[in-house]
Amino acid sequence: MAKLDSIFHCLADPTRRAVIAQLATGASPVSELAAPHDMALPSFMKHINVLEAGGWIETQKKGRVRTCRLCSGAIETAESWLDQQRRIWERRLDQLDDFVATLDDERIQK
């Protein structure tokens, strides 16, 4: 899925992860989000745009303030993909265990 590209691309940058982490504790205007990051505002805004395009946040402007809030879709898609891979992987490890157990049983039978 092409959406996964942009969802995970958002997470591959410390500034964007920090924004997500901060927004998890509550909505915030852009300038407040930008404050902790030593970076010019246009540079920071690019990250905001990337996060919005990736479906991590949504924003709305009231007066001259743009407020950003986290939305649920992206994190669910991300976790669900990871979960699926982990399940496939763990199921296979279990099958390996069973296989080894079978070998052991056969050895005992002798």
Partner DNA sequence: ATCAAGCTTAGCCATTTGGCTATCTATTCG
Partner DNA sequence: CGAATAGATAGCCAAATGGCTAAGCTTGAT
Q: Using CB under 8 A as the criterion, which residues of the chain lie in contact with a copy of itself when the complex forms?
A: 2, 4-6, 8-9, 11-14, 17, 20-21, 24-26, 70, 75, 78-79, 81-83, 85-86, 88-89, 92
Q: How far apart are CA 84 and CA 105, in angstroms?
A: 32
97 binds, among DNA, a copy of itself, none (CB under 5 to 8 A by kind): none
Of residues 44 and 95, the one with the C-beta less far from DNA: 44
Of residues 20 and 45, the one with the C-beta less far from a copy of itself: 20
The binding site for DNA (CB under 7 A) comprises 9, 12-13, 15, 29-32, 34, 38-43, 45-48, 50, 61-66
Residue 80: what are its φ and ψ, rounded to 5°?
A: -65, -40
45-79 as b/e: b if 16+ CB within 10 A: eebbebbeebbbbeeeeeeeebebebeeebbebbe
Bridge partner list, 65: 62
Of residues 45 and 71, the one with the C-beta less far from a copy of itself: 71
65 binds, among a copy of itself, DNA, none (CB under 5 to 8 A by kind): DNA
The token pair that represents 85 in the structure block: 């891979």
